[in-house]
Chain A
Amino acid sequence: MKILILGAGQVGSTVAESLVNEANDITVVDTDAEKLHQLQDRFDLRTLTGNAGHPSVLEQAGIADTDMLLAVTQSDEVNMVACKLAASLYNTPTRIARIRSADFLARPEVFSKENFCVDFSICPEQILTDYIVKLIEFPEALQVQKFSQGKASLVAVRAFQGGPLVGRPLSFLRTNMPQIDTRVAAIFRKHGPLIPEGTTVIEEGDEIFFIAATDNIRSVLKEMRRMDKPSKRVMIVGGGNIGLRLAKALEHDYQVKLIEYNKKSCQKLAGQLTSTLVLNGDGTDEKLLHQEHIGEVDVFCALTNDDENNIMSALLAKQGGAGKVIALINRSAYVDLLQGGKIDIALSPAHVTIGSLLAYVRQGDVAAVHSLRRGAAEVLELVVHGDRQSSRVVGRRIDEIDLPRGATIGAIVRGEDVIMGHHDLVIEAEDHVIVFVIDKVMVRKVEKLFQVKIGFF
């Protein structure tokens, strides 16, 4: 596929990175030649320096035969104009824009065919915020991903002493809570992934991915570990875009304290937030943390722009007695280093947000893609079409489907129902199938398998 990416910032370069790895032709446009240079050094792609909102630049970038436009520059307005140009002048089939301002998002008609022609708008900050909100709502989980408008969820949890399932085979789950249907999609032990079987014994420290109807998450979590008491007090460090959104989302249900270094930003934040307590200070200042009773905090989120600061303040918070600490870390090397150590959750913004973009890039009808384990594994929500003749999936039992080893069907969503992927379930057309892929290399194969054969139309 030929893809044109506008903007080589944080989002643009991560998207470029994952898409290049999937064998697409990528062109990246940005005004900053230096950034483009770095990208070109690392990956096999084309770059162009120029203003992404100008037709001449787009033309030079080869928009005429581009299959998909990803407008992810810093500016909402440039992104919208680029989409409009692509649609009216060059007939680009798919146009995706990053839109941050809630003002635009509140008026979806702005994006319609008659206006700015944005097919899909994404807001990485919002995705990240939603993700963290889920983590605070389920403090035991490492990750919660939603499928089919939230009907089904994939939850990652670390098994701890005290959970009834720990030290027992998976089949025990069935006998212990017969009324709740869930399916363990994968287990990651120290060295790598295990393919779960009924006889697999859960060990302490295992990272378990299971799929369940969203309402059942809590009961399943209980099997894996002792439940914490629900979170009440949240402390956020960093009042940037994400910190502000998170505080806004949480302040009605939680006691939120927000620490921001810049005094002017503090004034602004306090003006926009209602019940959040805005504190002016350094998140790595242990005196401030103690003064604000860090020991009583249930969830601590370090969300500044600076990786090192986030790591340090998260470590300090953990040492000071905070319940669960989350740190936002951009550099993937750091993420691997820290996850599972003293910091409970090391969040890589790129990996959290990339999924929503990948869904549009993938072949076949992909409703959602979520990156797991920092991009090593992936879970896809695929919509199946066709019939027994044209599809290799429809009308077959799950154990008849020729899935590559390491890919498992976790569940399907049929209309309003969430059905677990037991081996005798027969797939029907228009089902949403949630497939868990342990290794990203197999994603292509899985997509092919679910595609309708040529001749269907």
Chain B
Amino acid sequence: MHRALTVIHVLGLMLVVFSVTYVVPLAASWIYDDGTLSDFLMAMVWTSAIGFLMWLLTRRYKGELSVRHGYLLVVAMWTAMPAVATLPLLLVINGLSFTDAYFETMSGLTTTGATVLVGLDYLPPAINVWRCELQWLGGMGIIVLAVAILPLLGVGGRQLFKAETPGPMKDTALTPRIAETARNLWLVYLTITLACIAALKWAGMNWLDAVCHAFSAMGLGGFSTHDASIGYFNSPLIELVMIVFMLFAVVNFSTHFLVWRSKSLKVYLRDSEAVASLGLILASCAGIALFLRWQDVYSNYWVALRYASFNVVSIATSSGYASVDYSRWPIFAPLWMMFLTAIAASSGSTGGGIKMVRTLVLVKQAGREFLRLLHPAAINPMKIGGQVVPNNIAFAVLGFIFLYFMTVVTLTFILLISGMDFISAFTAVLASINNCGPGLGKVGPASTYAGLTDFQTWVCTTAMLVGRLEIFTVLILFTPQFWRR
């Protein structure tokens, strides 16, 4: 219990910091004068008040955070922040249940992009800005933000970073100090986001849409301000800009940082994960366009390429925008896209799923097994990008994949028990755990998650959380050993 209180102390501080982010929707509300100013102010005050109280009441338990605290804190943050973030939604939208509001904010902060709201076009602008900002914040992980700022407040946080930044190669530090690293990544993220806003404005969006879509694109979230998502604009140029920035966001931000620092694009080629990830996505675009043309879905290859590219990139990067209802395409195409979403994102990007580097580890491990059969004496360490991957990391990845697989199966069964059809259940779980957003069937790109029962909604909410925090981080809290001293 002592441990939990120490974590609550830090969490309180985090919530106070989090309340500052209400500034953006407040500004939007003031600019567009949509009448939500007081609601957001109220939410801001409540959030900081709750945070302050938590901090104040537990100040006796202030202490150094250990790795175990880190896990607990990360999970606590990713459950508490969506909870307080529901405040403005509950205040503004009449008749929204807490279940649905929590699903929405969880979907935001985990950058999933699945929504239960219908009639997005008629929501107050501030609400849309808030939803998209949640994705932006969630994207890089509010933790990285916290790590960049909390050291200023005198809270150590290296353990946090270990638990938070996705991917198996967490020890590759870019700069000697964790806070410096976080600040640098943050700066890169911010810069690319600003570029994205400018590009979207130039491509023809209004400022509100540009900011919202840039926020959700950089987080690889997929929230839109329109029910028809990007299809609303029906503009090849906007789709192209979105594709470019989604591909940016699906590459490890450390790589972007290195490119920035060394002023050399060659760094991208040295990141074998980025090469594999981008190569796979682009090849899939061309391939699916060919498939669609061959199946006569579109009468012209270039039209097919346009729609295939946008939707494949959107789903594969785990964003989840749609420009057409791709669930009507022959089943191979959308299923392949769901497969990509599980593996294609790079570690250290804002994408979800297994991550490309783990996929590479698996593929190489399979290759090693073949080689071992042919040459029993061979010593063949696993290498990724010329670096040897120690065996224990390979085992950790195998363990991760097993847990991932079991989680998908279990949750799918739970949804099946609750009465969902197979395709909807399976894809809803996949889309949630990979933080992608739309699935197929009842939860396809043309519909929302609003039709789910409360129970089903909670299952998907859980899947999002578990997927975003890379499964181990959440499940470790349910092991008795974790709570033993």
Chain B residues with Cβ under 8 A from A270's Cβ? 379-381, 388
On whether the beta carbons of A277 and B386 are closer than 8 Å, the reply is no
Q: Is A281 an interface residue (CB 8 A)?
A: yes
Binary interface encoding of chain A residues 277-312 relative to chain B, with 1 for a CB under 8 A from any of its CBs, else 0: 111110000001001100000000000000000000
On whether the beta carbons of A274 and B386 are closer than 8 Å, the reply is yes
Chain A residues with Cβ under 8 A from B376's Cβ? 291
Q: Which of A267, A271, A274, A279 contacts B377 (CB 8 A)?
A: A279
On whether the beta carbons of A278 and B380 are closer than 8 Å, the reply is yes
Chain B residues with Cβ under 8 A from A278's Cβ? 378-380
Task: Give A428 to B388 CA distance when docked, in angstroms.
Answer: 57
On whether the beta carbons of A271 and B380 are closer than 8 Å, the reply is no
Task: Give A336 to B376 CA distance when docked, in angstroms.
Answer: 37
Chain B residues with Cβ under 8 A from A260's Cβ? 379
Q: Is B62 an interface residue (CB 8 A)?
A: no
Q: Which residue of A lies closest to B387 (CB)?
A: A271
Task: Give A270 to B382 CA distance when docked, in angstroms.
Answer: 9
On whether the beta carbons of A271 and B375 are closer than 8 Å, the reply is no
* Total interface residues in chain A, CB < 8 Å: 17
On whether the beta carbons of B381 and A267 are closer than 8 Å, the reply is yes
Q: Is A444 an interface residue (CB 8 A)?
A: no
Q: Is B270 an interface residue (CB 8 A)?
A: no
Chain B residues with Cβ under 8 A from A271's Cβ? 381, 383, 388
Chain A residues with Cβ under 8 A from B375's Cβ? 277, 279, 291-292
Q: Is A411 an interface residue (CB 8 A)?
A: no
Chain A residues with Cβ under 8 A from B378's Cβ? 277-280
Chain A residues with Cβ under 8 A from B388's Cβ? 267, 270-271
Chain B residues with Cβ under 8 A from A280's Cβ? 377-379
Task: Give A278 to B379 CA distance when docked, in angstroms.
Answer: 5
On whether the beta carbons of A288 and B381 are closer than 8 Å, the reply is no
Q: Is A443 an interface residue (CB 8 A)?
A: no
Known contacts A271-B388, A274-B386; decide if A281 and B377 are in contact (CB<8 Å).
Answer: yes
* Total interface residues in chain B, CB < 8 Å: 11
Q: Is A368 an interface residue (CB 8 A)?
A: no
On whether the beta carbons of B377 and A288 are closer than 8 Å, the reply is yes
Q: Is A37 an interface residue (CB 8 A)?
A: no
Task: Give A259 to B371 CA distance when docked, in angstroms.
Answer: 16
Q: Is A266 an interface residue (CB 8 A)?
A: yes
In the complex, how many angstroms separate the beta carbon of A284 from the nearest chain B beta carbon?
14
Q: Which of A263, A288, A291, A292 contacts B379 (CB 8 A)?
A: A263
In the complex, how many angstroms separate the beta carbon of A259 from the nearest chain B beta carbon?
8
Binary interface encoding of chain A residues 323-343 relative to chain B, with 1 for a CB under 8 A from any of its CBs, else 0: 000000000000000000000
Chain A residues with Cβ under 8 A from B383's Cβ? 271, 274
Q: Which residue of B lies closest to A269 (CB)?
A: B379
In the complex, how many angstroms separate the beta carbon of A72 from the nearest chain B beta carbon?
33
Task: Give A197 to B211 CA distance when docked, in angstroms.
Answer: 90
Chain B residues with Cβ under 8 A from A291's Cβ? 375-377
In the complex, how many angstroms separate the beta carbon of A236 from the nearest chain B beta carbon?
14
On whether the beta carbons of A279 and B386 are closer than 8 Å, the reply is no
CB within 8 Å of A: which B140-159 residues:
none
Q: Which residue of B lies closest to A259 (CB)?
A: B377
Chain A residues with Cβ under 8 A from B386's Cβ? 274
Binary interface encoding of chain A residues 230-262 relative to chain B, with 1 for a CB under 8 A from any of its CBs, else 0: 000000000000000000000000000001100
Task: Give A291 to B378 CA distance when docked, in angstroms.
Answer: 11
On whether the beta carbons of A292 and B381 are closer than 8 Å, the reply is no
Binary interface encoding of chain B residues 18-61 relative to chain A, with 1 for a CB under 8 A from any of its CBs, else 0: 00000000000000000000000000000000000000000000
Chain B residues with Cβ under 8 A from A292's Cβ? 375, 377
Q: Which residue of B lies closest to A265 (CB)?
A: B379
Q: Which residue of A lies closest to B379 (CB)?
A: A266
In the complex, how many angstroms separate the beta carbon of A428 from the nearest chain B beta carbon?
48
Q: Which residue of B lies closest to A281 (CB)?
A: B377
Q: Which residue of B lies closest to A278 (CB)?
A: B379
Chain B residues with Cβ under 8 A from A274's Cβ? 383, 386
Chain B residues with Cβ under 8 A from A288's Cβ? 377
A274-B386, A281-B377 are known; give 6 further A-B pairs, CB within 8 A: A271-B383, A277-B371, A278-B379, A278-B380, A280-B379, A291-B375
Binding site for A on B (CB under 8 A): 371, 375-381, 383, 386, 388
Would you list 20 pairs from A and B whose C-beta atoms are within 8 A, ordered by A residue?
A: A259-B377, A263-B379, A267-B381, A267-B388, A269-B379, A270-B379, A270-B380, A270-B388, A271-B388, A274-B383, A278-B379, A278-B380, A279-B377, A279-B378, A279-B379, A280-B377, A280-B378, A288-B377, A291-B375, A292-B377
Closest 3 CB pairs of A and B: A266-B379, A271-B388, A279-B377
